[in-house]
Amino acid sequence: MPSLPKKLRVVPAVIMLSLVLTRSFCQVATEVNRRSLPTIGSVFRTFATSSPKCGEASDNGSVVTYSQLKTMLRVGDIQLFDVRNPDEYQAGHIPKAVNIPLVNLEESLKLSPELFKQQFAVEAPGKGDDNIVLHCKSGNRGSKAMEIAHRLGFSKVKHYKGGYSDWVEQEKRMPDGNMLHEAKTTT
């Protein structure tokens, strides 16, 4: 059997590259990532970041809404970490949020439980805890923080996608407005 011309041997490589760059492949890669293969998923995500829909498949089960966050805060079943910079946190924050800037998150999550408690005055989150919620101002840093936490083994961590900006907007709509005032004055 004669060998294929060189041009026909290149075609499968071009087709494969096209698949890597498609939105559907990104969603499949994100699903693989969710199933405990973060290294492979991260590599695929890197090639497919041009698609604005790329991260949407990973939102299922990992995003906390405003109403879910309010319930978790009311019940007290939450470990809420604000990954914004300290000056942003001081200007206003969600009640009960602990400030761990994104640049310090990885090293902070690697601390021993004793050192974590000493540094942040709260119990250290456990890798199997399902009540860990990360947030930032609008969702970008919170999403990056969630990726860092997943990479470190915190597989059930979630993030409040709307961030502090959404919190403030939602609180303005609340009839009593108490939480908004508390968010600005709580230290």
Which sequence positions are flagged as catalytic? Answer: 136
Give all strands (DSSP E) within the chain, no chain letters: 63-64, 79-82, 98-99, 132-135, 158-160
The DSSP call for residue 134 is E
Partnered with residue 133 across adjacent β-strands are 80, 158
Termini Cα distance of the chain: 77
The CA distance from 183 to 130, in Å, is 24
CA atoms within 13 A on the CB side of 121: 5
